[in-house]
Structure 1
Amino acid sequence: MRALTLAFIIALSSAPAIAGDREDLRNLLNDFLEGAAGDAKVHSRFWADDLVYTSSSGKRFGKEVIMRGLQESQAQPVTSSYSAEDVDIRLYGDSAVVVFKLVGEDRAGEAPVVSHYFNTGTFVKRDGEWRAVAWQATKIPEDE
């Protein structure tokens, strides 16, 4: 009976931490998507230094390549915006998997072009901060 009571107390005390981590990850994702179109500071905070990113075109690279691309595109106007739908956050201690549908809107042309991607991010909590250590983006075909 004591073991059951202790397990119940531990479960109750960890519930706020789990809810807080989910909220932290959701806020981190939303802040990232709001600044993803060109804010190097937002990208630097979001990605871990040891990131492995697999793009929707099948190319694999790390944080350095992302940051270099942002520096090269800083002179161009921001014409894209991003949002997340169907966000699912799964916690595993100091690791988490975040899956969602990314909606991108590019307004560079005469009419906006909307694209959809399935994204899966693996996060690790280091020094109290969540960082994406692995990322996979898959373009959703337009006919779906």
Structure 2
Amino acid sequence: MAIGCLNTAAAQEDNLREEVVAALEQFLAGASINDPEVHDDFWAEELTYTSSSGHRYGKAQLMEGVRSAETPGADGDADADIIWYYAENIELKPLGEAVIVNFTLGAEADHKPESPGRRFLNTGVLIKRDGRWQAINWNATAAADTAD
């Protein structure tokens, strides 16, 4: 019986990881092309976002910035660089109905894959609502330069 419980718990943890990582990757792909719909789905209404520049704001202000930003390549410029975001070192900490997500955010320019992008240490608190994972809290911190 104990083995069955352990197997069930492991399967639930695997399922949680699959769901949360898929939601994060879908969000980062949409954020790379500045898709307002993807942002709107991912950020919860009660979001508190702390930026790497030290500013704190909610979803309304974040969405205002998304909607006013340029979409890469929208003007037909095929040479426009899209900055593709990706997550590395993803760590999940389930807490009841929520999950804390820690990861390293990387960014790579579309036409310059050899150029190192900026890296951030991100932490999010996600909850599952209406069948999707949404961030209610997000912190982005510029990663220290490890070349020193």
Tell me if both proteins adopt one fold, taking TM over 0.5 as the criterion: yes
1:19-98 superposed matches below 5 A: 19-37=14-32, 38-74=34-70, 77=73, 79-98=82-101
Asked if structure 2 preserves the Cα contact closer than 8 Å seen for 1:107 and 1:113, the reply is: no
Q: Computing the radius of gyration over CA atoms, which structure comes out larger, 1 or 2?
A: 1
Deviates more, 1:72-81 or 1:50-59: 72-81
| SS of 1:58 mapped into structure 2 | coil
**Runs of 4+ deviating beyond 2 Å:** 7-18, 74-79, 105-109, 126-129, 141-144
Aligned length: 138
CA RMSD between the two structures: 2.5
Q: Residue 18 of structure 1 aligns with which residue?
A: 13
User: Please, which of 100, 119, 134 is the counterpart of residue 131 of structure 1?
Assistant: 134
Gaps of 5+ in 2: 74-80
Q: Give the AA of the match of 1:135.
A: W
Q: CA deviation at 1:89?
A: 1.1
TM normalised by structure 2 equals 0.80
Unaligned runs of 5+ in 1: none
Quote the Cα distance in structure 2 between the aligned partners of 1:112 and 1:65.
Answer: 31
Identity %: 34
TM-score (normalised: structure 1): 0.82
Q: How many Å apart are 1:131 and its aligned residue?
A: 0.8
CA offset at residue 18 of structure 1?
Answer: 2.6
